Amino acid sequence: MKSTFRVLFFLKRDKQKSNGTVPLFCRITVDGQEVSFGMKCDVHPKYWDIKTGKATGRTAEAVKINSLVDNTKAAIHRIYRNLQERDNYVTAERLRNVFLGTEIKQQTLLELFDRQNRERKLLIGVSICQTNHSCYVRTHERLIDFLWKWYNLSDIPLREIDHKFICDFQAYLVTNYGLAHNTQVKYLSNLRYIIGVAIGKDYISKNPFINFSTQYQNSNRGFLTQDEVEVLIAFRFKEEELEQARDIFLFCCFTGLSYSDVAALSREHIQLSFGGKTWIKSRRQKTDTEYNIPLLSIPQLILEKYAINSLCGKVLPVPDYPNYRNRLKKIAEICGIDKNITSHLARHTFATTIALTKGVPIETVSKMLGHTSIKTTQIYAKVISSKIGSDMDLLAEKLSGMEEKMAVNF
């Protein structure tokens, strides 16, 4: 609906002075809401034309007043057009404040988001990890694109964000990127965090996320089977960068480390225990939870392979995440593995194929993965049929004596 806008000049007749003059005021009306302010000049009522909103006569005083009226009206109209084009948000009060130079600058979404990202960047390695920061940066980039494509805006005042805006952003994530539900939730949760910051700083009072769900759905966590892991181990790559990516992926398959954890792994984290065994002892980048993992022979061989070339204390040549992700996709294609191989798939593989199916208790797996709750491990540790079968075989052995007695009686 088109905005209604009007500028009117009038005399404040109830403020008549002893010399008979009356203060001149300006009234701004936008969509039925109006505000007024004094023009800091006085006019005698008999020299004022109510219909034209100007002083009558050709005296120097009349020319001065009418020039002030014309310039003020032109300036307010110019400010109105600029605000409409820039922010698509205009009120009578805001027009008056901008004209008088008293407007408190409105906080906008992208400006606040960018400032928060710059502050969060300083916390990488302290309380957040690089992956977490990168996700917020991508959310900011998606919002820039969304605002331009869907609203034709370069930014938006925080007070203009409502339930519809959030629904539109979710629809944009689906239609433009085809993101799965949980990936959408990640972006929306990041936006929700920024809105929380805005509320905490009193930039806005109403939370637009009320009645909007950002709950993750339980997903079918994938993993590699033992046969698929053995295919990766045996394959000989011609490209060194693919071989390195394969080795890092396998290292994670046999340790349960995430991408951010293996990227941060340094010599100080590799320690010998009293029993002479090698352990990885560190804290998770994501949650700052302590983890201790005894090294199996395969990850030890991988460490030894890159020991000579390790630089800056890092024990493995971990590339940046986009390159690592792309190389894993190429590895899956070359090796004929029809699964989406990601850094997190290695963590799932450790929990299921390497640990649980080989009889490692879920409590132990949870500790090695650095989980704060065993419920999280139960999501990762998908119990497969072979594990159920082997567990039942063990149970059958323990019940063999009872079965013999049963056979005698029957």
Q: Residues 160-183: what's their mean pLDDT?
A: 88
Q: Residues 318-343: what's their mean pLDDT?
A: 90
Q: Which two tokens stand for residue 290?
A: 């302590």
Q: Which two tokens stand for residue 287?
A: 């949650």
Strands in 210-334 per DSSP E: 270-272, 278-283, 290-294
Mean pLDDT of the chain: 84
Which domains does the chain possess?
A: 5-100 (no CATH), 109-200 (1.10.150), 226-392 (1.10.443.10)
The position carrying tokens 């014309």 is 70
Summarize pLDDT for 102-116 with one digit per residue, the tens: 765 678 899 999 999
Distance CA 169, CA 214 (A): 13
Q: Percent of the chain beyond pLDDT 90?
A: 39
Q: Residues 370-389: what's their mean pLDDT?
A: 59
**Confidence band of 187 (pLDDT split at 50, 70, 90):** very high
Whole-structure pTM value: 0.51
Q: What is the pLDDT, as a whole number, of residue 344?
A: 82
- 109 or 287, higher pLDDT: 109
- 84 or 359, higher pLDDT: 84
Summarize pLDDT for 245-262 with one digit per residue, the tens: 999 999 998 888 888 888
Choose the weakest-confidence range: 188-202, 228-242, 268-282, 328-342.
268-282
Q: What is the pLDDT, as a whole number, of residue 24?
A: 95
Distances (CA, A) of 362 to 122, 251, 357: 36, 20, 10
Distance CA 396, CA 175 (A): 53
**Confidence band of 408 (pLDDT split at 50, 70, 90):** low
Distances (CA, A) of 158 to 17, 162, 197: 45, 9, 11
- 128 or 286, higher pLDDT: 128
Choose the weakest-confidence range: 81-90, 255-264, 384-393.
384-393
